[in-house]
């Protein structure tokens, strides 16, 4: 009798344990992807003492953080980064090789998500967009396919490309902000023929006017911002109508001269405004409330605008991140309430990082440079004139890629590979060009490490140029000496945070080398669905509960 009771008790414990495990193994109701535009990894550590407990620190403490995660290709631009995160692969496969690039078939510069076959929805212009240039599927596509096209994908960002590309080819909705005189969230007829009621109501609320009616001053006493340089310095770009790039900023008086409604992009209010719209979407679309798993893709675009204008070491960038930390805390709390703790999984990363302002580095006696695009093109033309008696053999130079004019080369009975190789042999003598290779080298040589491997993984045989150039470290293609940019394969542009958090993720940290292309297969494995069809990344197994 005692043995029978003991057996029954043991069986009950096993049954209870199994049921408990099944509960914890339940798939999330919602996956949230957060991409912060232009976030360097060191923004997590530099400003850590001033972050609150419920934003970045919450997901660092309770999630899994990759401290040595990098982009593994060139160029590190916004469209390329968002695409690589969500496809799990690099530009050689997914086909998005820049924000803008020279289309050698159309013989013109193109924009990554422009698509004239669709119309604007919610505005007269700004909405003729689609993801058709992206050649592979995304994790958002795969989730919908795995659920027989059930479950919703909603993608939101101030920048159109940052909303369109993460949403994939099957998104139920992608929304972005049309500034200037519009001040509205809009979309494309690729997704729908009219804005949903919740989005129209949000636009009617005139929240954008509310945000732009307030000045931008520092969240805390500016004297406590010891992690950044003095406010009045020579390395930042001023707003039009303001004598110096210093706090406070009287946004209402500056608005008209700085793009009207576009002004919200360049102040931390843009992050809060985006968060408000995200919350409206969660409620309006009932995300996380069905039997299927939904996906919410969010990109915070404002940090990129502020970073470009003021630079890495500015008090404006520091204040932006302290305020963004609060916006994230508000979002996480909202998800807890509306979707439920334990019912969602999220990842947070960046689409690229950024270089310190080169002129600032120069002032600190650190090698840094500026390169003139006009002088570079003139130099390349002088090479072809010298060796082939023509300066009409180069069609365009785009994103440090040289596109040859194949028709002119053929008419002179020249060999395109010979022309390309001669350019490579001599352009290396141009000041500030560090490396140069031909497209033929990219096709016939396999690089396994270093900067040329990154160049190769960013080279797309169908779309890229005939000669590829790499400038010296800390070099910008610009004539301006204020503000900064990105695009290289050097650590300052490639090192970004990756944090997994929530359902299916165990707390921890890793110092192992990972790439941003590892995010999509990791989320796919967590959801037990197929990888995006071009995936080359690997599962971050140590981040997931067994």
Sign of CA dihedral 279, 285, 289, 291: negative
Least confident of 2-6, 311-315, 372-376, 503-507: 2-6
Q: What's the distance, CA 357 to chain centroid?
A: 20
Q: What is the mean pLDDT of residues 64-82?
A: 98
Q: What percent of the chain has pLDDT over 70?
A: 95
pTM metric for this prediction: 0.95
At the topology level of CATH, where does 27-359+490-499 sit? Alkaline Phosphatase, subunit A (3.40.720)
List pLDDT tens digits, range 83-142.
999 999 999 999 999 999 999 999 999 999 999 999 999 998 999 999 999 999 999 999
CA distance 182 to 275: 19
Residue ranges of domains in the chain: 27-359+490-499, 369-472
CA proximity to 75, closest of 540, 489, 495, 466:
489
Which pLDDT tens digit goes with each residue over 141-199? 999 999 999 999 999 999 999 999 999 999 999 999 999 999 999 999 999 999 999 99
Confidence of residue 478 (pLDDT cuts 50, 70, 90): confident
Q: How many percent of the chain have pLDDT more than 90? A: 94
Domain 369-472 is found in CATH 3.40.630.30? no
pLDDT band at residue 546 using 50, 70 and 90 as cut-offs: confident
Average pLDDT over residues 508-513: 98
Instruction: State residue 479's pLDDT score.
Output: 76
- For the chain, what percentages of helix, strand and coil (3-state, to nearest 5) are there? 40, 20, 40
**Integer Cα distance of 398 and 112 in angstroms:** 14
Tokens of 402: 């040289």
Chain-wide mean pLDDT for the chain?
Answer: 95
Give the active site residue among 16, 45, 78, 83.
78
Q: Which residues, other chains included, contact 10 with Cβ-Cβ below 8 Å and sequence gap of 6+?
A: none
For residue range 436-454, list pLDDT tens digits in order.
Answer: 999 999 999 999 999 999 9
pLDDT in tens, 309-341: 999 999 999 999 999 999 999 999 999 999 999
Rounded Cα distance between 100 and 311, Å, is 23
Say what the pLDDT of residue 25 is: 59
Residue 460 tokens, joined = 């797309």
Indicate the pLDDT class of residue 347, thresholds 50, 70 and 90.
Answer: very high
CB 302 within 8 A of CB 265: yes
Q: Which of 156, 308, 145 is nearest to 236 (CA)?
A: 308
* 212-238: average pLDDT: 98
Q: What is the pLDDT of residue 5?
A: 45
273-289 pLDDT tens trace: 999 999 999 999 999 99
| Residue-wise pLDDT tens digits, 402-427 | 999 999 999 999 999 999 999 999 99
Strand partners, 509: 65
Note if 78 is an active site residue.
yes
């Amino acid at each position: 009798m005692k043995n029978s009771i003991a057996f029954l008790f043991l069986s009950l414990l096993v049954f209870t344990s199994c049921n408990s495990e099944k509960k914890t193994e339940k798939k999330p109701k919602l996956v949230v992807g957060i991409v912060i535009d232009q976030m360097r990894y060191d923004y997590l550590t530099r400003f850590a003492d001033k972050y609150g407990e419920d934003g970045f620190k919450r997901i660092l403490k309770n999630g899994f953080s990759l401290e040595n995660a990098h982009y593994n290709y060139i160029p590190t631009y916004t469209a390329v980064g968002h695409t690589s995160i969500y496809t799990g692969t690099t530009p050689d496969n997914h086909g998005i090789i820049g924000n803008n690039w020279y289309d050698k078939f159309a013989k013109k510069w193109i924009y990554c998500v422009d698509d004239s076959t669709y119309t604007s929805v919610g505005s007269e212009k700004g909405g003729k967009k689609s993801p058709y240039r992206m050649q592979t599927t995304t994790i958002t596509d795969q989730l919908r396919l795995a659920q027989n096209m059930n479950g919703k994908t909603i993608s939101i960002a101030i920048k159109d490309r940052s909303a369109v590309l993460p949403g994939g080819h099957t998104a139920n909705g992608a929304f972005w902000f049309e500034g200037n005189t519009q001040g509205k969230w809009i979309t494309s007829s690729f997704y729908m023929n009219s804005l949903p009621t919740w989005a129209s109501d949000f636009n009617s609320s005139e929240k954008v006017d509310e945000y732009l009616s307030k000045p931008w001053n520092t969240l805390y006493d500016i004297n406590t911002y010891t992690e950044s340089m003095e406010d009045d310095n020579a390395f930042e770009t001023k707003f039009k109508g303001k004598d110096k790039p210093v706090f406070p900023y009287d946004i209402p008086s500056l608005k008209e001269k700085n793009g009207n409604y576009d002004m919200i992009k360049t102040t931390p209010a843009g992050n809060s405004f985006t968060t408000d719209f995200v919350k409206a979407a969660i409620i309006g679309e009932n995300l996380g409330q069905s039997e299927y798993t939904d996906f919410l893709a969010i990109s915070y675009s404002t940090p990129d605008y502020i970073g470009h204008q003021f630079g890495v070491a500015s008090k404006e960038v520091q204040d932006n991140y302290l305020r963004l930390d609060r916006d994230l805390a508000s979002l996480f709390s909202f998800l807890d309430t509306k979707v439920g703790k334990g019912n969602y999984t999220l990842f947070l990363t960046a689409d690229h990082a950024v270089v310190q302002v080169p002129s600032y580095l120069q002032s600190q006696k650190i090698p840094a440079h500026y390169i003139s695009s006009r002088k570079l093109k003139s130099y390349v033309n002088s090479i072809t004139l010298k060796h082939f008696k023509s300066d009409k053999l180069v069609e365009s130079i785009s994103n440090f890629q040289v596109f040859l004019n194949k028709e002119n080369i053929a008419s002179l009975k020249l060999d395109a590979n010979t022309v390309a190789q001669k350019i490579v042999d001599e352009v290396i003598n141009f000041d500030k060009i560090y490396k140069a290779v031909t497209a033929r080298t990219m096709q016939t040589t396999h690089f396994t490490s270093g900067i040329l491997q990154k160049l190769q993984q960013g080279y797309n045989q169908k779309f890229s140029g005939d000669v590829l150039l790499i400038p010296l470290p800390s070099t910008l293609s610009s004539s301006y000496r204020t503000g900064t940019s990105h695009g290289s394969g050097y650590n300052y542009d490639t090192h970004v945070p990756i944090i997994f958090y929530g359902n299916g993720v165990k707390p921890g940290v890793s110092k192992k080398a990972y790439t941003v292309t590892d995010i999509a297969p990791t989320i796919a494995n967590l959801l037990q669905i197929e990888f995006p069809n071009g995936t080359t990344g690997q599962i971050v197994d140590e981040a997931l509960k067994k």
